[in-house]
Amino acid sequence: MSHASDAAAHHTGRRVIEEHRRTAELTEVVLDDGRVVMVKHADSPGALQAEAAGLRWLAAADTVAVPEVHGHDAEWLVTDRVPEGRATAQSAARFGRDLAALHATGAPAFGAPPPGGPADAFIGRAPMRNITGGQWPQWYAEHRVLPYVRLAVDAGTLRADEAATIEKVLDRLPGLAGPAEPPARLHGDLWNGNVLWGPDGDAWLIDPAAHGGHRESDLAMLDLFGAPHLERILDGYQEAAPLADGWRDRVPLHQLFPLLVHTVLFGRGYADQAVAAARSQLTR
């Protein structure tokens, strides 16, 4: 058995029957009581601490389903496995309503980390600092957009003139952001791959970059990379918690953050998308 099996046994208190390596970081482990858990490896202890805290914070809202965290240490995180299924139009609408309920449970401030989560967290493989702020436009500019603009410019994947275009948007952000809203409890990395669908069609959330933020940011991330029955998800959300007028026009504004993160991680193609998103806001 591998170190992943050792971690599963340690954090569940059960004997391991077999294991199946899924990726370089993820191993599926079968326990002696028939349960199956996922064991995740990371080199950064802060990444696993942040993910575990985020999963527990989302689960505490008792809205969207989240796999149970059995434990974590400096190298390993052990959670329940989500059984495989597929989305339906009905379950997508239900997910939209449940996501609205999750957001409504709130956060102490914009940028607030989950209880027990570190300020120095991650979104995917990129560092993400959870520093709190009182007003969303200023906080979003300072702690979500500008750090990645600087990293991308330093790496040569974003030109200085393109960075200037994004900074023009940030200068106008208070007038572009729409009505003020209270901090929402965000998943924070809500692309399609982090929403799993169980056998009954119910949605499950995994791999969060959870923090206090603007609820439109989670929805913009779903839109950015697509999701099954996306319009039904949005219909369900609007039924439970209508969004402020003009929210569709603000989608690219909220996508600036993940697009810049992807620019830092994956290069030039995402830089073009980030600049296009910024230009769309300058013409509003």
CA angle 196, 205, 248 (to 5 degrees): 95
Residue with tokens 């950064």: 44
Residues 64 and 102 sit within 8 Å (Cβ to Cβ): yes
Q: Whole-angstrom Cα distance, residue 87 to residue 196?
A: 9
Q: Whole-angstrom Cα distance, residue 136 to residue 183?
A: 8
CA angle 58, 196, 248 (to 5 degrees): 75
Task: Please name every residue paired with 127 in a beta bridge, in sequence order, or none if there are none.
Answer: 122
Q: How many CB atoms lie within 10 A of CB 14?
A: 18
Residue with tokens 């290069």: 267
Active site residue 189: yes
Strands 76-80 vs 120-123: parallel, antiparallel or unpaired: unpaired
Catalytic position from the list 98, 189, 207, 218? 189
Q: Whole-angstrom Cα distance, residue 60 to residue 195?
A: 18
- Supply the residues annotated as catalytic: 189
